[in-house]
């Protein structure tokens, strides 16, 4: 039996100003900067060289590792450089720079109209070759998700249409404009993992999307649209499973441990396009929003397009813009400048002005317990942060720091403005680094 809601969470407000803005296709830039790190797992290495001519959708980066995803050119043109360039996670990364010839000569064609011609392994191979990763921002290689071990049978595939982050509306628009592709993608995933039950989960503040998706699956006996309470982080994988199935993913576990696979609506569309049109993952829908941007909206943007060009396409930013965030305000990454490329995991660009950005002095914990009440995975964020501050990482690990989903509820709710999720993120990084050494 499905649960009514999950434990904890917060209500940070919606601010979804672009809900009514249909997706517009942004023109391809004259030059793209495509990083070789766009997914969880092994980064890619270039399979092209400076001076090579490439086509739209041509593979330009690859890896022999199973947990990786190939990278494709988002324009046709010439490779003019392979260099270290700004990456939105806050470092320099190996990047292929391609100058567009404006022709968009494609390297792909064909596809399948029906899943009847394809086996489970065929679908996984297509998804892998297309370089599809989690489009909700997690960027986990999708073919890996679709390949659970034999002792982990899947009985439920969940499509995540919650889009609980404030400001972002790209998933909402895709459910209105590309619903058929989402259903085809869901069926493809179900066939890939040999599963007979599909769920499309949507928060109750997206009534038009709920109606559209229900209409599209009304004759599908094994697919259900489930409506969830609007609450952050409803779209987190483990919370979505709890609400949809009543099951709890165990500490340190994965969705497959409770018979589930979860994918974002954008990922389902990418899978549909890969199967139907043989199209690799080289573009995505991005919400460009916030009081700092002059003309907000939802745009289909080529991977490798600089954020500065995206903002310029939106009539620029206001003079009092103080912060640029890749993603939403709760889990997004602040950027030091707009000179970074859109990647496969870029769901939004959020521009905030001095009216929304406030700086607070961190004060000592007052043991109010609000961070504990809000934590959706039942952690003690105050204690983990305390251990991290005092370099007691073993105790931070004992308090299950690695289970943190980094939703930011604890930092949002803390009355003394302690950067709790940042401390926990630091602990996770150091614990994982220690494990790799051992």
Q: Is residue 195 annotated as involved in ligand binding?
A: no
| pTM (predicted TM-score) | 0.95
CA distance 414 to 297: 32
Strands in 63-177 per DSSP E = 71-72, 77-87, 91-100, 156-161
Q: Is residue 371 annotated as involved in ligand binding?
A: yes
Residues contacting residue 339 through CB under 8 Å, at least 6 positions apart: 86, 306, 307, 308
Indicate the SS3 state at residue 418.
Answer: coil
Q: What percent of the chain has pLDDT over 90?
A: 94
Take residue 115 and report the two structure tokens written for it.
Answer: 């899943």
Take residue 224 and report the two structure tokens written for it.
Answer: 């259900």
User: Is 304 in contact with 32 (CB distance < 8 Å)?
Assistant: yes
CA distance 109 to 114: 16
Q: Is residue 314 annotated as involved in ligand binding?
A: no
**Could you identify the residue written with the tokens 């969470």?**
9
29-33, 311-315, 331-335: range with lowest mean pLDDT: 331-335
User: For residue 1, is pLDDT > 70?
Assistant: no
Q: Is residue 164 annotated as involved in ligand binding?
A: no
Choose among 346, 296, 343, 339: nearest CA to 317: 296
Whether the upstream peptide bond of residue 233 has omega within 30° of 0, thus cis, is yes
- List C-alpha distances in Å: 273 to 121, 195, 197, 276, 354: 17, 21, 22, 5, 41
CA distance 181 to 200: 13
For the segment 309-317, the average pLDDT, to the nearest whole number, is 98
DSSP state of 39: S
Q: What's the pLDDT tens digit per position in 367-423?
A: 999 999 999 999 999 999 999 999 999 999 999 999 999 999 999 999 999 999 999
Neighbours of 383 (CB within 10 A): 17
Q: Is residue 375 annotated as involved in ligand binding?
A: yes
Q: Is residue 260 annotated as involved in ligand binding?
A: no
Residue length, the chain?
Answer: 438
Residues contacting residue 23 through CB under 8 Å, at least 6 positions apart: 170, 173, 174, 177, 285, 298, 299, 300
For the segment 303-332, the average pLDDT, to the nearest whole number, is 97
Q: Work out the angle between the directed axes of helices 179-192 and 120-129 (0-180°, nearest 10).
A: 120
104-127: b or e for each residue (b if 16 or more CB lie within 10 Å)?
Answer: eeeebeeebeebeebeeeebbebb
Domain boundaries, the chain: 1-25+107-359, 370-437
**Could you identify the residue written with the tokens 């813009």?**
321
Transcribe 199-232 into DSSP letters: EEEEETT-HHHHHHHHHHTTT-TTEEEEEE---B
Residues contacting residue 56 through CB under 8 Å, at least 6 positions apart: 73, 74, 75, 76, 104, 105, 106, 107, 108, 282
Neighbours of 195 (CB within 10 A): 18
- Please, which pLDDT band fits residue 62 given cuts at 50, 70 and 90? very high
Indicate the SS3 state at residue 325.
Answer: strand
Q: What's the pLDDT tens digit per position in 202-252?
A: 999 999 999 999 999 999 999 999 999 999 999 999 999 999 999 999 988
CATH of span 1-25+107-359? 3.40.50.11540
| pLDDT score recorded for residue 269 | 98
User: For residue 56, is pLDDT > 70?
Assistant: yes
Q: Is residue 409 annotated as involved in ligand binding?
A: no
Mean pLDDT of the chain: 96
Take residue 293 and report the two structure tokens written for it.
Answer: 């941007």
| pLDDT score recorded for residue 361 | 87
CA distance 170 to 235: 14
User: For residue 157, is pLDDT > 50?
Assistant: yes
For the segment 350-363, the average pLDDT, to the nearest whole number, is 90
User: For residue 2, is pLDDT > 90?
Assistant: no
CA distance 261 to 244: 12
- Cα dihedral: 203, 207, 209, 215 (round 10): 120
Indicate the SS3 state at residue 435.
Answer: helix
| pLDDT score recorded for residue 358 | 80
- Please, which pLDDT band fits residue 138 given cuts at 50, 70 and 90? confident
For the segment 98-125, the average pLDDT, to the nearest whole number, is 97
| pLDDT score recorded for residue 360 | 81
User: For residue 97, is pLDDT > 90?
Assistant: yes
């Amino acid at each position: 039996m499905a649960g009514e809601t999950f434990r904890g969470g917060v209500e940070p407000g919606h601010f979804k100003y672009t809900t009514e803005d249909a997706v517009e296709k942004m023109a391809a830039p004259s030059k793209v900067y495509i990083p070789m790190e766009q997914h969880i797992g092994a980064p890619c290495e270039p399979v092209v060289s400076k001076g090579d001519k490439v086509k739209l959708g041509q593979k330009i980066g690859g890896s022999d590792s199973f947990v990786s995803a190939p990278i494709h050119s988002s324009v046709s043109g010439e490779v003019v450089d392979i260099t270290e360039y700004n990456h939105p996670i806050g470092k320099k990364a190996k990047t292929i720079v391609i100058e567009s010839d404006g022709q968009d000569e494609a390297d792909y064609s064909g596809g399948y109209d029906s899943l009847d011609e394809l086996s489970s392994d065929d679908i996984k191979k297509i998804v892998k070759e297309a370089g599809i990763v989690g489009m909700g921002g997690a960027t986990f290689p999708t073919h890996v998700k679709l390949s659970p071990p034999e002792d982990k049978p899947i009985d439920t595939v969940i499509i995540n249409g919650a889009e609980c982050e404030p400001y972002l509306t790209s998933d909402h628009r895709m459910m209105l404009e590309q619903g058929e592709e989402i259903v085809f993608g869901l069926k493809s995933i179900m066939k890939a993992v040999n599963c007979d039950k599909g769920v499309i989960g949507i928060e109750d503040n997206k009534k038009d999307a709920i109606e559209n998706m229900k209409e599209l699956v009304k004759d599908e006996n094994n697919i259900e649209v489930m409506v969830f309470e609007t609450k952050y982080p409803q779209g987190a994988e483990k919370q979505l499973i709890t609400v949809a199935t009543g099951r709890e993913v165990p500490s340190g576990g994965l969705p497959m441990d409770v018979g589930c696979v979860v994918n974002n609506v954008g990922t389902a569309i990418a899978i549909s396009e890969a199967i139907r049109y043989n199209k690799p993952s080289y573009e995505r829908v991005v919400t460009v929003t916030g009081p700092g941007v002059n003309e907000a909206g939802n745009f289909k943007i080529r991977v490798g397009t600089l954020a500065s060009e995206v903002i310029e396409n939106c009539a620029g930013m206001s003079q009092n813009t103080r912060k640029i965030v890749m993603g939403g305000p709760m889990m997004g990454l602040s950027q030091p400048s707009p000179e970074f490329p859109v990647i496969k995991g870029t769901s939004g660009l959020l521009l905030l002005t001095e009216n929304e950005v406030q700086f607070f002095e961190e004060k000592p914990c007052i043991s109010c317990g609000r961070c504990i009440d809000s934590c959706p995975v039942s952690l003690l964020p105050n204690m983990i942060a305390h251990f991290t501050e005092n370099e007691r990482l073993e105790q931070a690990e004992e308090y299950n720091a690695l289970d943190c989903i980094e939703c930011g509820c604890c930092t949002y709710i803390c009355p003394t403005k302690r950067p709790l999720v940042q401390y926990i993120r630091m602990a996770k990084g150091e614990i994982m680094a220690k494990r790799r050494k051992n």
